[in-house]
Amino acid sequence: MTGSSAPIHIFGGPLSPSQAGLVLSLAEAAQAADGVAPLSEGVLLQVRHGSGPLARDLLLTQGDFVAGFAHLDAPDADTQGGDTSGELVVHPAHRRRGYGTALISALAAGADGHGIRLWAHGDLAAAAALARSAGFTRFRALWQMRMSFGEPALPGPVFPAGVSVRTFRPGEDEESWLEVNRRAFAHHPEQGSWTREDLELREAEPWFDPGGFFLAERDGRVIGFHWTKVHPAGGEGSPIGEVYVVGVDPGQQGGGLGRALTLTGLEHLRHLGLTQVMLYVDESNTAAVKMYTSLGFGRWSTDVMYRRPLRDLAGLRG
């Protein structure tokens, strides 16, 4: 803990509204310094609206200043060994003092016998060094891909026979969408575990637009979807669209439905006057990467997940 002028304290427990505001300010400072948001949308929603009953939030303070924050989700029964995943951030003015290591140690102590996976957004060198020093290994990579709308124009969507497309109806389509989402992402550790509450939190967000949320149906049953999102103008100077999530019921794959839904959402974003669009895709999902590349997307940045299994956490406890 070299460089500290006051003792540090790690607080664990539900965040008060004032503490949540301090965490959001900390995240903004880190994004300004690093050029990438340090916390995912899911963690930010929990900071703002309250974390789940089995999740943990840790605040690292030095004196009266919040110098770091860490979040740990509930263990995922579908992951290897029932790992729990999390994220952490240290204020740019308080780095290189051992605070990241202190937060990891506190996460390990509160992991309740589970291995830990930590996301590092932007694949920054400092995050990689911290992960290595704490005994974590690179486990998963998530690409952000982008493309610009221009010439030549994208082809029009061609849907399989018997498929119709409409937009999402809030208050009516939640359960149908959740059912298809669970099947489409049964092996996805984040997306496939969404609940009604997860969906409704996003429906309440200012960016939510049911007119950009497309559902594909066959015989009156939802079989696929493309949910788009528009990020407001920020540091980049202009709004940017997002292929937020595309999913196809496993029994309906192989007929070009995913590509047709992707093109439907992209055409919607282009008609909004946006000039750029982004998406996230697992590096290992070669089929999806190939499809997005064929549409004109290119790799922009990488988020990395590091893992330390249960057997390696004993040295971080106590």
How confident is the model over 72-112, as pLDDT tens digits?
988 865 555 578 899 999 999 999 999 999 999 999 887 77
CB-CB contact of 316 with 105 (8 Å):
yes
Q: Do 15 and 106 share a domain, yes or no? A: yes
Residue 185 DSSP SS3? coil
Count Cβ atoms within 10 A of the Cβ of residue 204 and give its class: 0-12 exposed, 13-18 middle, 19 or more buried: exposed
Count Cβ atoms within 10 A of the Cβ of residue 181 and give its class: 0-12 exposed, 13-18 middle, 19 or more buried: buried
Q: Is the pLDDT of residue 250 over 70?
A: yes
CATH number of the structural domain spanning residue 119: 3.40.630.30
Q: Do 134 and 208 share a domain, yes or no? A: no
Q: Do 156 and 259 share a domain, yes or no? A: yes
Cα torsion 20, 21, 22, 26 to 10°: value is 100
Q: Is the dihedral of CA 176, 182, 183, 184 positive or negative?
A: positive
Task: Check residue 13 and give its pLDDT.
Answer: 79
Q: Is the pLDDT of residue 239 over 90?
A: yes
Q: How far apart are the C-alpha atoms of 261 and 107, rounded to whole Å?
A: 40
Phi-psi region of 129 (alpha: psi -120 to 50; beta: other; left: phi over 0): alpha
Q: Is residue 163 part of a domain?
A: yes
Q: Is residue 285 part of a domain?
A: no
Q: How far apart are the C-alpha atoms of 310 and 287, rounded to whole Å?
A: 32
Element holding 246 (H helix, E strand): strand 240-248
Among 29-33, 242-246, 307-311, the range scoring the smallest mean pLDDT is: 307-311
C-alpha of 169 from chain center: 24
* Helix axes of 41-49 and 196-203: crossing angle, nearest 10 degrees: 90
Q: How many CA atoms lie within 13 A of 24 on its CB side?
A: 14
Q: Do 84 and 158 share a domain, yes or no? A: no
C-alpha of 263 from chain center: 22
Q: Is residue 253 part of a domain?
A: yes
Element holding 30 (H helix, E strand): helix 17-34
Nearest to 268 by CA among 230, 295, 236, 238: 230
Cα torsion 47, 52, 56, 58 to 10°: value is 20
Q: Is the pLDDT of residue 156 over 80?
A: yes
Average pLDDT, integer, range 198-205: 96
Q: Do 214 and 308 share a domain, yes or no? A: no
Number of domains in the chain: 2
Q: Do 215 and 157 share a domain, yes or no? A: yes
Higher confidence at residue 46 or residue 310? 46
Give the global pTM: 0.88
Q: How confident is the model at residue 311 (pLDDT cuts 50, 70, 90)?
A: low
For 1, the token pair is 């803990």
Q: How confident is the model at residue 236 (pLDDT cuts 50, 70, 90)?
A: low
Q: Is residue 284 part of a domain?
A: no
Q: How confident is the model at residue 292 (pLDDT cuts 50, 70, 90)?
A: very high
Task: Characterize the bridge pairing of strands 116-120 and 137-148.
Answer: unpaired
Q: How far apart are the C-alpha atoms of 204 and 305, rounded to whole Å?
A: 29
Q: How far apart are the C-alpha atoms of 100 and 96, rounded to whole Å?
A: 8
Task: Check residue 75 and give its pLDDT.
Answer: 81
Q: Is residue 279 part of a domain?
A: no
Q: How far apart are the C-alpha atoms of 141 and 146, rounded to whole Å?
A: 16
Q: Do 107 and 85 share a domain, yes or no? A: yes
Q: How confident is the model at residue 8 (pLDDT cuts 50, 70, 90)?
A: confident
Question: Which domain range does residue 115 map to?
Answer: 8-142+304-316
Phi, psi of 301 (to 5 degrees): -155, 175
Q: Is the pLDDT of residue 213 over 60?
A: yes
